[in-house]
Structure 1
Amino acid sequence: MYISEQLLNPDERRLRLSAQLGVEHVVLDNRGTEMVSAAGGVNAWDSARLKAYRQWVEGFDLKLDVFALDVGSILLDSLLDLEGARRQRDVLAQNIKKAADAGITCLKYNVQMVGITRTGMKPGRGGARNSSFVHAEYRPEEDRKHSYWGVGYPTDQAEGGTDTAMLCGQKVAREVPPVTEKAGWDAIEFLIEGLVPAADNAGVRLACHPHDPAYPVGGLNGVEHVVGSADGLRKFLSLSSSRNHGLNFCQGTVAEMFRDPGAAMIPVIEEFAATGRIFMVHFRNIRGGYLDFQEVFPDEGDVDMFQAIKAYQRGGYAGPLCPDHVPISALDEKRERFMAFALGYTRGLLQAAGVWHTPAR
């Protein structure tokens, strides 16, 4: 295992900082730009531009582990406009091949239909603020204020506006028609049926991020989060036997599925690691659990992060650990220092566990 930093549209300064922090591998998302897109829009990629982008990043002594595949609104569209969704799926399948042509071997994607629901900020250590989801405090009209939209962090972020929510295919919960459990699985199966064969042909792994957060039984605002439980993750993996069909295993999101994540997570991590279907890990921690949690620094949550690393090791996982969702503070507006802390903490745990290694580049 090794650390890999997630970055959104990084510039030269940011890539140099990552290298100086000892990062050697990165996971990149460039939604909202045309740096890798074919002429006329940001949906279809251009393999030559994508390859040039990868080479530019790797010129900073960084290896590009994973690149984001933005599925847009295809899941909702498959329930409302099947023909339009098929056209989008064809573009995504073509993008998978173009990624392979550009030398990219793993793509991550997210099956959120609505924003990553949060209900507000909780006080953290030293005056930092922790993003939280407390079901009892949920108010639909405050979704956009507190929730995550596609990428980034909630509140005070450029990502938090309507344009980005639409760009990332996510809607406010009350604006979405009911999505039953059956409809949710139908939409995901539609996506998998189109993308996994393309991934097999191209030799590209697809890493899916589960639903964040787990919703109550019956859903929230009529929307079910079907990949919002351990059983949902198991069913998701069962949709295809392809070894290219797997998970962006967000440890924090999976922890949110349990009332006592401190007790539940270690065996669950080992179980899913043993499938060989974890392609990357969001290595983050929470305090609390199902329907009542807050996102905290990795060293202060309810999951023992050292034991988590040992569980990944026992399960045979040897891929990237990506720190994610650190708290918010006016003292670190870009979260570079907070992320540096999380990176160093993760690297220290790996070294203490005796599993640190740098894979061949």
Structure 2
Amino acid sequence: MYIGEQIINPSADRLRLSTQLGVERVVLDTRPNTRLEGPDGHWDADKVAQYRRWIEGFGLGVECISLDLGSFLLDCVHEPERATARAAKMRADIRAASAGGLEMLKYNVQMVGITRTGRRRGRGGVLESAFRAVDYSPEGDRAHSYWGVGHPGGGARGADIAVNATGTTEALGQVMATDIPGLSEPQVWSALTRLVEEIVPTAEQVGLRLAGHPHDPAYPKGGLNGVEHVVGSIEGMERFLDLAPASAVHGINFCQGTVAEMATDPNPYVMDAIRRIGGRNRIFMVHFRNIKGGYCDFSECFPDEGDVDMAEAVRTYRAVGYSGILCPDHVPASDLDTARERFFAFALGYTRGLLQAV
């Protein structure tokens, strides 16, 4: 295993900092990926290769880039013709990614944003992104959820992330649940099935792995605002994998924080998930983060202070044969570190120390 960073539209200086922090490989999010597109709106293999070589020029390897689903999953239910057009673009982008020298793409199955209800004060007064189902309000959702490539606090001076708001290009088709007719469990599974059927065969043809991120957070039983989060449990992740059970390119972006959010007792649940998903060799990359709390009541904290034993997690990944990337993710916010560089540096150093110790 090795440390890596997930960076949004990095500058040259940000990449130099990554190398100075000991990062070996990076996960890149450039959505909506216009810098990779040709005149026809599809990714251009030469532009992908040029971007990859630019990153490699800093001494970094490219672990993967984010595939932009746009509103495909929503459109499968409510705008099927638009979903058909998007599917064609995703297949073309997968082919260009492979031709441009990439080995993996990641994607997120969120349709209504990564729901949060507010912030809580953490260590030294930092602000931790939080979800407490009983406190839910549309106003809190709109203000505090993660929208597309935006993060709560995005747009602050020096930040590397976009202004975080619905209705922007950066929201990438994610909408407020109150703005759509709803998404039942059968509808969501139908959309996910179509997604896998549309993109996995193309990825198999070109030998490129696809890492899907589970629903964040696990919603209360019966959903929230008429929307179900079906990939919000170990069983949901397993069912998602079983949509293409024999495919070696269909796997999970194992967000450890998201998995921890699925249980009232996160630590044993996370270890069980690592064993079950990792035992199938379907953990393709890891978001190595921690939370305080659990199912329907948690906040996102520094990795050393949450309810998941991070050292035990590293040992468990190793036990199932996982040898890939560990990326810090969703560190708290502070006016003392608006670009989050020091907080990510702390998380990277902590992760490096665990790898050396374990």
Q: Do they fold alike, i.e. is TM over 0.5? A: yes
Q: What is the CA–CA distance in structure 2 between the aligned matches of 1:270 and 1:10, rounded to whole Å? A: 34
Q: Which runs of 5+ in 1 are unaligned?
A: 354-361
Match of 1:304 in 2: 309
Structure 2 CA distance for partners of 1:323 and 1:227, relative to 1, 3 Å: same
1:196-221 deviations in whole A, cap 9, x for unaligned?
A: 00000010000000000000111000
Indicate if the aligned counterparts of 1:256 and 1:291 stay in contact, CA closer than 8 A.
Answer: yes
Q: Cα 1:301–1:167, aligned 2, differ >3 Å: closer, same or farther?
A: closer
Other-structure match for 2:4: 4
User: Could you say what secondary structure the match of 1:293 adopts?
Assistant: strand
Report the Cα distance in structure 1 between the residues aligned to 2:230 and 2:255, rounded to whole angstroms: 15
Question: How big is the alpha-carbon RMSD for the aligned residues of Structure 1 and Structure 2?
Answer: 1.2
> How much has 1:272 moved relative to structure 2?
1.3
Counterpart AA for 1:194:
E
Change (3 A) 1:165 1:304: farther
CA distance in 1, matches of 2:295, 2:166: 28
Query: 1:285 is aligned with what amino acid?
Result: N
SS in 2 for 1:28: strand
- Offset, 1:167: 4.5
Q: Deviations over 1:207-258 (max 9, x none)?
A: 0000000001110000000101111001001100201000000000010000
Q: Secondary structure at the match of 2:226?
A: coil
* Structure 2 unaligned residues grouped into runs of 5+: 156-161
Once residues 208 and 4 of structure 2 are traced to their aligned partners in structure 1, the CA distance between those partners, rounded to angstroms, is 19
Structure 2 CA distance for aligned equivalents of residues 126 and 83 of structure 1: 51
CA contact (8 A) 1:115 1:165 kept: no
Deviations 1:309-353 (A, max 9, x none): 000011111110100000000000000000000001001101111
Match of 1:74 in 2: 72
Q: Deviations over 1:147-171 (max 9, x none)?
A: 0011242135333123446741200
Q: Match for 1:314 among 309, 314, 319? A: 319
What is the aligned partner in structure 2 of residue 254 from structure 1?
A: 259
What is aligned with 2:336?
331
- The question of 1:203 aligning with 2:207 is answered yes
Q: Provide the residue aligned with 2:159 in structure 1.
A: none
Structure 2 residue 247 is the aligned partner of structure 1 residue 215: no
The residue type paired with residue 187 of structure 1 is: A
Query: Aligned partners of 2:30 and 2:222: how far apart in 1?
Result: 34
Quick one: distance in 2 between partners of 1:152 and 1:279?
A: 24
Runs of 4+ that moved beyond 4 A:
none
Question: Is 1:224 aligned to residue 228 of structure 2?
Answer: yes
Query: In the aligned structure 1, how far is the partner of 2:233 from the partner of 2:276?
Result: 14
Whether the 8 Å contact between 2:167 and 2:175 is mirrored in structure 1 is no
Aligned to 1:107: 105
SS of structure 2 residue aligned to 1:53: helix
- Residues 190, 322 of structure 1: CA spacing in aligned structure 2 closer, same or farther, 3 A cutoff? same
Compare 29-38 and 222-231 and name the one that shifted more: 29-38
State yes or no: 1:141 paired with 2:139.
yes
Q: What is residue 25 of structure 2 aligned with on the other side?
A: 25
Q: Partner of 1:159: helix, strand, or coil?
A: coil
Which residue of structure 1 lines up, in the alignment, with residue 46 of structure 2?
Answer: 48
How many angstroms does 1:125 deviate by? 0.4
- Write out per-residue CA displacement over residues 143-197 of structure 1, whole angstroms, 9 at most, x where no aligned residue: 1101001124213533312344674120011112110000000000011001000
Distance 2:230 2:111 in 1: 11
Given that 1:282 and 1:322 are in contact with CA atoms closer than 8 Å, whether structure 2 keeps it comes out as yes
Matching of residues 256-295 of structure 1 within 5 Å: 256-295=261-300
* In structure 1, C-alpha distance between the alignment counterparts of 2:149 and 2:71, rounded to whole Å: 15
2:182 counterpart of 1:178: yes
User: Structure 1: which amino acid aligns with 2:125?
Assistant: G
33 and 277 in structure 1: CA distance in 2 versus 1, 3 angstrom threshold: closer
The aligned counterpart of 2:347 is 342
CA distance in 2, matches of 1:171, 1:253: 20
* 8 Å contact from structure 1 (residues 145, 155) kept in 2: no
Change (3 A) 1:71 1:156: closer
* Identity between Structure 1 and Structure 2 (%): 55
Aligned residue for 2:336, secondary structure, equals helix
**Whole-angstrom CA distance in 2 between matches of 1:259 and 1:310:** 22
Letter in structure 1 aligned against 2:75: D
- SS in structure 1 at match of 2:35: coil
Post-superposition offset of 1:5:
0.6
How much does 1:39 deviate? 2.0
Q: Paired residue for 1:356? A: none
1:190 aligns to what? 194
Give the deviation of 1:82 after TM superposition: 1.4
Which deviates more, 341-350 or 258-267? 258-267
Confirm or deny: 8 A CA contact 2:32 2:169 kept in the other structure.
no
Matches of 1:142 and 1:289, distance apart in 2: 19
Structure-2 change in CA distance of 1:330 and 1:49 (3 Å): same
The whole-number CA distance in structure 1 between the counterparts of 2:154 and 2:44 is 33
The aligned counterpart of 1:119 is 117
- Aligned partner of 1:159 among 159, 163, 171: 163
Aligned partner of 2:38 in structure 1 is 38
SS in 2 for 1:332: coil
